[in-house]
Structures are given as structure tokens and as C-alpha cells.
Amino acid sequence: MPAGRVAAYVDLDLVGDALIKLPFVRALRDAYPRAELIWIAGRGPTAYADALAPLTTGLLDRVIERSGVGRGLHAALGGRLDLLIDTQSRVATTLALRLLRPRRFISAAADFWLSEVRPRPGYRKPRRLVRRLLDLAELSSGRPARPAGAPVLPAAAAERAARLLPPGPCYVAQAVGAGGRHKAWPAERHIALAHALLAAGRQPVMILGPAEQEALGPLQAAVPTARFPLQEAGEVTPALTIALGARCAAAVAADCGAGHMLAASGAPMVSLFGPTDPEKFAPWAERLTILRAQAHGGAEMHHIPPAPVLAAVEALLAESRA
């Protein structure tokens, strides 16, 4: 395995994409602990250069964005790579990356046609993006990928989270929104779950992003003893959200960015799905329970009742105590 210069190429990473890929970054660092690890976003920005940069402390040594795949990238790299992992699927881009002449090149494009290392015969590409990426990490290193581990958070975020959620209660995070309303579990379902958690001696922690501010008043009125730490802090950042998740005994979220942040914190997750596919979009959590609306009578999120969600939370809590 190379111990010199290792790079992974992606086209671009918005915050949600980068959160999904974080286990891949961890697996690469685990596989190549002494290498200079470089993340390349050739066709656009990457959240690892700004919003999520704190989460890659000790994982990535360099981040290159908007470099293209030609002379600009060659100049930015400043030397030959020992290993280049191409994570995208455009054959033209893959051909251009090969012209960088890395000592080893791995790419799943065109069924690994241009890759110097290929998977075993009969390999079938997983639907789940993070699993595909972890397969590339395994292919490069020759051993199972190990993506576990909590992110290294800025001290300020961890300290603020500790003030917002001090020790004592059994906190359960509820990510209320989602990028599309069709993916969100209805607010009235979250309210019912929060009351059930309170009755069971748990402390609900409502995670509201910038797009959910209009829900704050009704939720506070319906569940006055719930905690709203991001609104109390006056800031909504990935690092603080993840730090809050790390202080929770469990978390509930639909298919949304906040769900991936809570999963990144290491919190045991109950992930709710309806119109989207968990085989492709489920967060990467060490302990994960997926509940689908289809099991309760329909594809819309309102079909998921609070009772099985509460039962799944309690099962994860019991597992943690065991």
C-alpha cells in the first residue's frame, strides 16, 4: 500500500454529499495513516473546504476544488500521486485523470474498464453511494474498510453543545425537517413522539435548521418542555449539530441533511423513509434502524405512526445499556 501521496477525486460535494462521503474519508485515513491524503473536487466546490472542514481535521491533508482535470489539477498537485481513486462515472473524466499518471489508478467508471485494480468476478455495484465508495477503499488497500469513528469537532462547538445539553437527562434528538417536504415526517407526528418520549422519561431535543424556523413557535407551544438548542445558540452549523448529536442517546430523522449530521455524531439512529429509497440514501450509522412508510399502509411519510418510532428508540437505548 502506498504511504506517500493518496488522492480521491470527486466532481463536487455539497454539504449533504460530503456528509454521506465522510465514512469513505475515514476509511481512507485508516487504510493510509502515514500518507498525504488529498481530496479533489475538480468540477466545483467541496464542503470539506469550508462548512465541513472542521470534520476532516486529522483526516485530510489537502483539499483542492474547482481545479478541472487537466493542467490546472496537474499544477495544483505539484507532483506525481502514488494512488488516485476516481469516484465519479464519466469515462471522459476518467481518461483525463489517467493522464496524470499516478502510480496506481482505481476507477469504477465503465465497470472498472480503466482501473488498474478490479473487483472479483461477479461483483455488482451497490445502490448505496457510501457502500460503493467503501468498496473502492477496500479495492485500493486489499483489506476491509474501517469507516468507524466520531469526527474531531472544534472545541468551541463541543463546549457550546455541553452547555446547551448538560449531563443528566437522556436526550433524544428529533430532526424535524427535510430538504423536500415530501421526505419530512409531519410535525404533528414529531409532537406526538416528543410527548411519548417525555412520558418515558426521555428529553426530546428538536433539531430545526434554517428552513424550519416557521415551525419553531407551534412546536414550542405544543411541547414546551422540549429543547431547541440550535435556536437557543442562535446559530445553525454542521459542527454544532453534530456536537449536539454526540450528546444524545438516540436520534430520529427522515431522509435529510440533519439526519446525516446526527449519524456522523455516532448517535444510534432511527431513520424514517417513505418516497425515497433507504438502500441508496440511508445514513451511515454504527447502529441504525430503518422504518419505512410502506410497512404502514402507504409511501407517504404520514403513514409512519409514532408508536413504532418510539419502540425503535427504546430498543436502541436498551441495546446501549446492555
pLDDT in tens, 179-194: 788 999 999 999 999 9
- Which domain covers residue 260, as residue numbers? 155-321
Our measurement of the distance from residue 299's CA atom to the centroid of its chain's CA atoms, rounded to an integer in Å, reads 24
Domain end point (choices 106, 141, 176)? 141
What pLDDT score was predicted for residue 322? 74
Q: Which of 141, 164, 188 is the endpoint of a domain?
A: 141
Each residue's pLDDT, cut to its tens digit, for the chain (322 residues) gives 446 999 999 999 988 889 999 999 999 999 999 999 999 999 999 999 998 998 898 999 999 999 999 999 999 999 999 999 999 999 999 999 999 999 999 999 999 999 999 999 999 999 999 999 999 999 999 999 998 776 778 899 999 999 999 999 999 999 998 878 899 999 999 999 999 999 999 999 999 988 888 999 999 999 999 999 999 999 888 999 999 999 999 999 999 999 999 999 999 999 999 999 999 889 989 899 999 999 999 999 999 999 999 999 999 999 988 7
In terms of domains, do 136 and 159 share one?
no
Same domain, 20 and 52: yes
Are 179 and 79 in a shared domain? no
**One domain for residues 285 and 187:** yes
pTM assigned to the model: 0.88
- Same structural domain for residues 24 and 109? yes
d(CA 28, CA 44): 22
* 17 and 85 part of one domain: yes
Contacts of 253 by beta carbon, 8 Å cutoff, 6+ apart:
173, 174, 175, 207, 259, 262, 263, 269, 270, 271, 272, 283
For residue 36, tell me if it sits in a domain.
Answer: yes
99 plus 202 within the same structural domain: no
CATH number assigned to the domain comprising residue 127: 3.40.50.2000
How far apart are the C-alpha atoms of 112 and 107, rounded to whole Å? 6
pLDDT score of 321? 86
Same domain flag for 87 and 186: no
> Total structural domains in the chain?
2
Residue 111 zone, left/alpha/beta (φ > 0; ψ -120 to 50; rest): left
Q: Which residues of 210-237 are buried (b: 16+ CB within 10 A; e: fewer)?
A: ebbeebeeebeeebeebbbbbbebeebb
